[in-house]
Amino acid sequence: MKKFIVSLLFLVNLTVSAQAYFPGFDDLFLGNNTDESLFSPELNYFRDGLKVTSKLLFIKDLQTSSSRSAAFYSFQVIPRSDLEYDFLNSGVFLKFNVNTKEKYPSFNVIFNEFVNEDKESGNGRIDLYNKGLSILFSETDVKVFDFQKKTSLKDLKAEFLISDIEYKIDKTNLEIVFKGSFTTDINIKGKKIKKEILSQLTLNADKEGFGISYMDPKSNKKKYIVEKDI
């Protein structure tokens, strides 16, 4: 059950009052036993960063099913509000989109993981419902762009709304594919892009750091939005 969880650990800023009623995410999925983790020593910085962000994460209605090489999880995430968290001080922010008027605001998650025969690599898929999680980018990396006015808008973070996540991991590399869409038109380092053009962002991490990229629709080449050295 504790073999591997990647992108769900990006969830943070949960209600403290929920602690009396719901289990902590890191208690269930992020124990201190590194033997049960697919994260190699080269990628432990990433795992540690995820662990920090999930410290106050609570879940409810957990359902699980597992076999020797696969596992299924279904549960609800309970964020405190739509606060933002700067992951590893990279300028990549995580935002939670919930109805804060509810007693325990939440969104649903379904997660499937598969561990390969070598027990050192695996892959999986995470489906996020109710538009619960977004990635925000600082103005330095991505600007909100107004095509009508032909200008970038100031003091706004570009938002990528995530619908589902796919990942794969081995000893030296982690790849996370975020599927979804930007909520506005954008300007990425001088490239003006309509919001409906980009439906996928890819995070790659190795021992030296991580980066988030997209496929340029014109050149069909990988372009990095953010690169963070460790």
For residue range 193-227, list pLDDT tens digits in order. 999 999 999 999 999 999 999 999 889 999 999 99
> Is residue 133 in some structural domain?
yes
| Helix (H/G/I), strand (E/B), else coil: 216 | coil
> Is residue 1 in some structural domain?
no
For residues 176-190, average pLDDT: 97
> Is residue 62 in some structural domain?
yes
For residue range 87-118, list pLDDT tens digits in order. 888 999 988 888 878 888 888 999 999 999 88
Mean pLDDT score across all residues of the chain: 85
Q: Which sign does the torsion angle of CA 174, 175, 181, 186 carry?
A: positive
Q: Which domain holds residue 87?
A: 7-229
> Is residue 21 in some structural domain?
yes
CA dihedral 136, 84, 174, 181 (to 10 degrees): -30
DSSP code string of 166-215: EEEE-SS-EEEEEEEEESS-EEETTEEE-TTT--EEEEEEETTEEEEEEE
> Is residue 2 in some structural domain?
no
Please name the residues in contact with 188: beta carbons below 8 A apart, sequence gap of 6 or more. Answer: 141, 142, 143, 214, 223, 225
pLDDT given for residue 34 in this prediction: 52
| Helix (H/G/I), strand (E/B), else coil: 17 | helix
pLDDT given for residue 28 in this prediction: 65
> Is residue 165 in some structural domain?
yes
More confident residue, 230 or 213: 213
User: What domain count does the chain have?
Assistant: 1
Please name the residues in contact with 162: beta carbons below 8 A apart, sequence gap of 6 or more. Answer: 128, 133, 134, 135, 178, 179, 180
For residue range 18-53, list pLDDT tens digits in order. 445 677 776 666 555 554 568 888 998 998 888 877
For residue range 104-160, list pLDDT tens digits in order. 888 899 999 999 988 889 999 999 998 889 999 999 999 999 999 999 999 999 999
> Is residue 171 in some structural domain?
yes
pLDDT given for residue 53 in this prediction: 73
How far apart CA 224 and CA 3 sit, in angstroms, is: 30
Report CA-CA distances (Å) from 86 to 12, 22, 26: 10, 25, 19
For residue range 44-78, list pLDDT tens digits in order. 899 888 887 776 678 889 999 999 889 999 999 88
pTM: 0.87
| Helix (H/G/I), strand (E/B), else coil: 134 | strand
pLDDT given for residue 52 in this prediction: 75
